[in-house]
A and B are shown apart, each in its own frame.
Chain A
Amino acid sequence: MAIIETKNLTVIFDMPNNTRITVLEDISFTLEEGEFVAILGPSGAGKSTLLRATAGLITPTHGEVLYRGKLVEGVNLGVSMVFQSAALFPWLTVLENVELGLKAKGISPKERREKAIQIIDLIGLDGFESAYPKELSGGMRQRVGFARALVVEPEVLLMDEPFSELDILTAENLRNDLIDLWIEHKIPTKSILLITHSIEEAVYLADRIIILDKNPGRIKQEIYVDLPHWRDRDDEAFTRFVDRIYGIMMGKALVTKPIRPERYTTPFPHVRVGAIAGFIELLSDLVDTRVDIYKVAEDLQMDVADIQPVIEAAELLKFIDTTGGDIIITEEGKIFAEADVLEKKQIFKKLLLSHVPFIQQILQVLNNKSNHRMPVEFFIELLETKFSESEAHDQMEIAIDWGRYAELFAYDEDSKEIYLEEEIVES
């Protein structure tokens, strides 16, 4: 039986510069009783927005959220939430933080204390009742976050990347404790909805994974993880799941996505040249020609969330090719990895000019001006027709970084102008 259902959920934010950003588009899914569902997606896929819409913290622009068949208006009373940063109130003790939700429900002080102490014991916070959050380690703080969410005995527990700010060991420890509470039915929670950007975490915990695409956030695919708990990360079946999901997340195969003919629609991944160059060099040391993306992340000891933009950038410039979940270094990539500093700049320049239309456009504008200078605002405004204001600034920053490295143009921070350097103009 479905506890929560979203129907054609679309969330559009009005930005201050009068642009509208579609964060979520046409999301329909159900959360069944007894299910642990993970929502997986890259940053910018609107995962958090989806979670908040489910909780009733954000009203969707179109579509609706149903809780046990009833339309959710305002806060969804059947849910409770664990936040990324734990969001504990620093002026309240552990006990007071946990009791807060019960206070709102108007439960008597005595009963409140009993329930709070009970959940504190269950979650392993025994002895820390009178401590303030700043006295606790990150892991302990997040435990309080769990206790605070669970003490109100919600039917659905929503979790917003609750492990992402913890170190590896603490996170794993807390994940296992959560699984234990869940599969042993130590908590009355009927369903869990987890937001995460870690594929492994999703495969480790969830019964079903909903993969989101970004710009705008849409459901790309759903996968049932039919592995029994406790799952073993070294198990071959586990790795196969992880691999498959990597492939889906990296793949460009989303049939319904319209191909837009406009220029500079592909946003620059937020990656500086240094990171791209370093990545290509490391990659060429690691492998010969073809490699599994999952293995690369593992070998580089990086999280997929951190490495994904670098991969995107490298692919945008055709240093690599990632069709179907594998990374293949292209010829240019190989040459680039071996080249010295000046040669590297040359190769980068060539690739930038042939694969990034926005850079071409900047050059065109500068060449057409008699003084070869243009205020950066001009280009930012161009970008703002496609991106939010802050995103447009970020995009411009990356464009300048790449363009400077390739010595295509220069940028004067004081006058805020982009210009062609003398030698470039002459040649």
Chain B
Amino acid sequence: MLYKTIPIKRIKISVIDLGIILFLFAFIYGIVSTAKGWRESPGYALNISLSFSNLPYYAWLSLLRQFFAYILSLNFSIIYGYIASHNKGLEPFMISLLDILQSVPVLSFMPGVILGLIVLFPYGRVGVELGSIILIFTGQVWNMAFSVYGSMSSIPREFNEAANVFNLTSFQKFLYVELPYSTIGLVWNSMMSVAGGWFFLMACEMFTLGKRDFRLPGLGSYLQLAAIRGDTRAMLVGLGVMVVIIIVIDQLVWRPLIAWAQKFKVELSSEEVVPRSMIFTILQRSTITHLVGGTLENFWEKISKKFPSRIYTSSRGKASSITRVIMIGLFGLVIVYGCFRLSIIISNIPISRWGEILLSDFLSFLRVSTAVLLSILWTLPLGVYIGMNPRLSAVMQPLVQIFASIPATAIFPIILMWLVNLKGGLSVASILLMLLGTQWYLLFNIIAGAMSIPAELKEASYIFGLKGMDKWRKLIIPAVLPQLVTGAITATGGAWNASIVSEYVHFRGTTLSVKGLGAMISSSADKGDFGVLAASTIVMIITVTIINRFFWRRLYWLSEEHHSL
């Protein structure tokens, strides 16, 4: 009996399907009508209105920018990750390049990106719009690319062998093995990336470059303008809209995606808690999704046949020496040229200015350290408490996730209102912003670490009467230390990035700033002083790298080696 267990395709259109169709129509109309605006209004000195009636439109525009930036990031990261994991000659270069790019703060990309695009698209808003999208992209893409690379280069050996024995074409292998294997990591990193996009939304929609003042209509510029004018009501309402959008996206996009991604899990055991999503279940039952899915599958299959069957040669293959030499040569040339140009720009900076940059670096370092230390101080006890109470963590984790997804930059102006009149108020506010932006990484990781303490260890410490400090020293700290360090690495990087938006602020018609490396970067970008911008960016990259390599990584190895469970 053939076909007997294959379900007959349902062609019944239900209310859900109707909803999906309407949603798609609305979305397409939205994009088309928005694109019209790009050609009309100029990209700078645009009037942003603080009237509430504009908010939905602004929110839509910001959302669209995030969406396009994300699509760009997704494609880029898959292509980059694929090439890096498949080309042994390019791999080391591509990965170290990624490592460097990842630690370049978003704002340092700004002048190059914006000026370049304005030259390419001199009319209308297109150039600036594209620039803004690319800026958001530079904040999203690197960790996604890392994730794809990491997944694709760690595909279980037998999966690769099965694909090769069955002689899958390279495209089939990508479609049926490599991409599915990368999906879970990609979804989680996408979530993080988009959250990062919201964090820098304000900086990406409204900025000055030399004498030119760029403003794009959007939620980010709305919030920033509200801050500059000191309009508290507008700030709060804008923030509210942002939080609502983030929660809605979380429910409509990320939860369903995570639930869907479970099917790509490789561990074959059935799990204790499976992420679920109402929306996902609804979509799964809809006819449209099945139809679209089927059509896509046929389409991909036709494409995949076009690719030649790759006769696989050796699992221990190395890039041939000629391509390797050419690659190294080309890459070397680019680096040499870049360094040469950079050194010209930087060599114009007077020594006194260098001293200032290094002092700023030290001051920012103090702020970052304070912020991370304070974060650890409060997240460690709370995270351990939540993590060791399973019932509590089930309730708290989604809550913490929502808190974490509110971009601290949007709350920042409100904090600033309270602190601006105090002596050293901006410095305190700056530390607070770093704290707000980065404490969540720590909290998440500590909760996860505490949850992973085996029940037997907890029981044993109970039996031996381990209490108070002893319990912390002997059980808790060793158990959560690796996770704590992982969180702290991300938090430190995030705090440095936050220094850029927190040490130099346009607020109530004036520009506030404290001495710091972040302020150095922001102000030099503002003024179009590329030499200082490049120099302070390099100093920041070096500082972050040194702290990671010589402090956090060491601590991590130490904790892994001695206390891994």
Residues on A facing B (Cβ under 8 Å): 13, 52, 55-59, 73-75, 77, 79-81, 83-85, 87, 89-92, 95, 100-101, 103-106, 113-114, 117-118, 127, 129-130, 132-134, 141, 148, 152, 414
A59 CA to B309 CA, complexed, in Å: 19
B6 / chain A contacts, CB cutoff of 8 Å: 95, 113, 129-130
| Residue ID in chain B nearest A11 by CB atoms | B316
A57 with B165, Cβ < 8 A, contacts A87-B156, A100-B176, A134-B270 known:
yes
Beta-carbon contacts under 8 Å, B1-56 to A: 2-3, 5-7
Q: Closest 8 interchain pairs by CB?
A: A87-B158, A101-B166, A74-B311, A59-B314, A91-B180, A81-B165, A104-B168, A87-B162
A83 / chain B contacts, CB cutoff of 8 Å: 158, 161-162
A314 CA to B452 CA, complexed, in Å: 39
| Residue ID in chain A nearest B271 by CB atoms | A134
A104 / chain B contacts, CB cutoff of 8 Å: 166-169, 172, 309
B247 at the interface (CB under 8 A from A): no
B313 at the interface (CB under 8 A from A): yes
A sample of 8 more A-B contacts (CB under 8 A), given A81-B165, A89-B176, is A13-B316, A74-B312, A75-B164, A87-B156, A90-B263, A90-B264, A100-B166, A104-B167
| Residue ID in chain A nearest B169 by CB atoms | A104
A80 with B166, Cβ < 8 A, contacts A75-B312, A90-B263 known:
yes
| Cβ-defined contact, B165 with A75, below 8 A | yes
| Cβ-defined contact, A130 with B301, below 8 A | no
Residues on B facing A (Cβ under 8 Å): 2-3, 5-7, 156, 158-159, 161-162, 164-169, 172, 176-177, 180, 183, 263-266, 268-270, 301, 305, 309, 311-316, 562
Find the residue from A57, A81, A92, A129 having the highest chain B CB count within 10 A: A57
| Residue ID in chain B nearest A138 by CB atoms | B268
| Cβ-defined contact, A59 with B180, below 8 A | no
B316 / chain A contacts, CB cutoff of 8 Å: 13, 58-59
B313 / chain A contacts, CB cutoff of 8 Å: 59, 73-74
A90 / chain B contacts, CB cutoff of 8 Å: 263-266, 268
| Cβ-defined contact, A87 with B315, below 8 A | no
A114 with B176, Cβ < 8 A, contacts A73-B313, A75-B312 known:
no
| Cβ-defined contact, B161 with A81, below 8 A | yes
A13 CA to B270 CA, complexed, in Å: 37
A134 CA to B274 CA, complexed, in Å: 13
A391 CA to B169 CA, complexed, in Å: 36
A80 / chain B contacts, CB cutoff of 8 Å: 165-166
| Cβ-defined contact, B3 with A117, below 8 A | yes
A152 CA to B161 CA, complexed, in Å: 16
A133 / chain B contacts, CB cutoff of 8 Å: 268
A141 / chain B contacts, CB cutoff of 8 Å: 268
| Residue ID in chain A nearest B261 by CB atoms | A91
A75 CA to B309 CA, complexed, in Å: 11
A113 / chain B contacts, CB cutoff of 8 Å: 2-3, 6
A81 CA to B158 CA, complexed, in Å: 10
> Separation in Å of the A125 CB from the closest CB of chain B?
11
Q: B7, B169, B315, B562: which contacts A58 (Cβ < 8 A)?
A: B315
> Separation in Å of the B305 CB from the closest CB of chain A?
6
> Separation in Å of the A54 CB from the closest CB of chain B?
11
Find the residue from A85, A103, A105, A129 having the highest chain B CB count within 10 A: A103
Q: A57, A84, A95, A130: which contacts B315 (Cβ < 8 A)?
A: A57
B interface: dominant SS: loop
A87 / chain B contacts, CB cutoff of 8 Å: 156, 158-159, 161-162
> Separation in Å of the B471 CB from the closest CB of chain A?
22
A81 / chain B contacts, CB cutoff of 8 Å: 161-162, 165
A56 CA to B161 CA, complexed, in Å: 10
> Separation in Å of the B92 CB from the closest CB of chain A?
15
A87 CA to B168 CA, complexed, in Å: 15
| Cβ-defined contact, B165 with A79, below 8 A | yes
> Separation in Å of the A126 CB from the closest CB of chain B?
8
A152 with B7, Cβ < 8 A, contacts A87-B156, A114-B2, A117-B2 known:
no
| Cβ-defined contact, A106 with B315, below 8 A | no
| Cβ-defined contact, A103 with B172, below 8 A | yes
| Cβ-defined contact, A84 with B158, below 8 A | yes
| Residue ID in chain A nearest B2 by CB atoms | A117
A52 CA to B6 CA, complexed, in Å: 36
Q: B2, B176, B265, B270: which contacts A92 (Cβ < 8 A)?
A: B176
A134 with B164, Cβ < 8 A, contacts A58-B314, A58-B316, A104-B172 known:
no
A152 with B2, Cβ < 8 A, contacts A73-B313, A84-B158, A91-B263 known:
no
A89 / chain B contacts, CB cutoff of 8 Å: 159, 162, 176-177, 180
| Residue ID in chain A nearest B168 by CB atoms | A104
| Cβ-defined contact, B314 with A134, below 8 A | no
| Cβ-defined contact, B268 with A55, below 8 A | no
A75 / chain B contacts, CB cutoff of 8 Å: 164-165, 167, 311-312
| Cβ-defined contact, B161 with A57, below 8 A | yes
A52 / chain B contacts, CB cutoff of 8 Å: 161, 315
| Residue ID in chain A nearest B309 by CB atoms | A104
A271 CA to B302 CA, complexed, in Å: 54
A91 / chain B contacts, CB cutoff of 8 Å: 180, 183, 263-264
A90 CA to B316 CA, complexed, in Å: 26
A73 / chain B contacts, CB cutoff of 8 Å: 311, 313
> Separation in Å of the A289 CB from the closest CB of chain B?
43
A106 CA to B172 CA, complexed, in Å: 11
| Cβ-defined contact, B158 with A57, below 8 A | no
A148 CA to B309 CA, complexed, in Å: 19
B266 / chain A contacts, CB cutoff of 8 Å: 90
> Separation in Å of the B154 CB from the closest CB of chain A?
15
A58 / chain B contacts, CB cutoff of 8 Å: 314-316
B305 / chain A contacts, CB cutoff of 8 Å: 106
A118 / chain B contacts, CB cutoff of 8 Å: 2
| Residue ID in chain B nearest A84 by CB atoms | B158
| Cβ-defined contact, A103 with B3, below 8 A | no
Find the residue from B162, B269, B313, B315 having the highest chain A CB count within 10 A: B162
B268 / chain A contacts, CB cutoff of 8 Å: 90, 133-134, 141
A106 / chain B contacts, CB cutoff of 8 Å: 305
Find the residue from B3, B168, B176 having the highest chain A CB count within 10 A: B176
> Separation in Å of the A313 CB from the closest CB of chain B?
28
> Separation in Å of the B308 CB from the closest CB of chain A?
12
| Cβ-defined contact, A103 with B301, below 8 A | yes
Find the residue from A55, A81, A148 having the highest chain B CB count within 10 A: A81
21 A-B residue pairs with Cβ-Cβ distance under 8 Å, sorted by A, are A13-B316, A57-B165, A58-B314, A74-B311, A77-B167, A81-B165, A83-B162, A87-B156, A87-B161, A90-B264, A90-B266, A91-B264, A95-B6, A100-B168, A101-B167, A103-B168, A105-B167, A114-B2, A127-B5, A130-B6, A134-B265
A35 CA to B268 CA, complexed, in Å: 34
